[in-house]
Amino acid sequence: MKPHELKPPEGSHKTSKRKGRGDGSGKGKTAGRGTKGTKARGEVHMFFEGGQMPLARRVPKLKGFTPPNQKIYEPVNVKDLARIETANIGPDELRKVGLINHRSGLVKILGTGDVDRALTVRAHKFSDSARTKIEGAGGTVEVIRMVSGPKPRKGVKR
């Protein structure tokens, strides 16, 4: 027996209709595609909307500009400083209490609320109202200076 002599068992499958082979075949002339129209003539791609402006071109694209060296400050209000028992408050104490999340995040103290005791607050930035409220209660304000140096390249360990 040779490969070209192999045949499936009798009645196991139906021979497919040969389209476009004349009217006598039963699928001649239009080959089962109906008459006229785009689908009768050729392939219609997936996102074609019939000549209407496609969704991918109707929807506005991302606009604007995101600065690569943007500084994002985590805000902490003056009223939230009352949660901390110690008189010296810095980013580490704020992180322990859960007022800020990011380890390397910059902190800005905002002036919502009141201060009931003298505090020494260390942060990267202060609003004017927060500064006056803390100093008005007998506390001090210390601005943490940010050290700006060359950033390590990605994939390079130091």
Instruction: Convert the pLDDT of each residue in 31-55 to its tens digit.
Output: 888 888 888 888 888 888 888 999 9
C-alpha 128/C-alpha 110 separation (Å) is 8
Domains of the chain with bracketed CATH = 73-143 (3.100.10.10)
81-112 per-position pLDDT tens digit: 988 889 999 999 999 999 998 766 799 999 99
pTM confidence score: 0.55
Contact call for residues 66 and 101 (beta carbons, < 8 A)? no
What H or E segment, with its residue span, contains residue 96?
helix 91-97
Phi then psi dihedrals of residue 4, to 5 deg: -75, -10
Tokens of 76: 């902490």
C-alpha 88/C-alpha 82 separation (Å) is 12
Beta bridge partners of residue 89, listed in sequence order? 121
16-36 per-position pLDDT tens digit: 888 889 888 888 889 888 888
Task: Give the angle 58-59-65 at the CA atoms, nearest 5°.
Answer: 130
SS3 118: coil
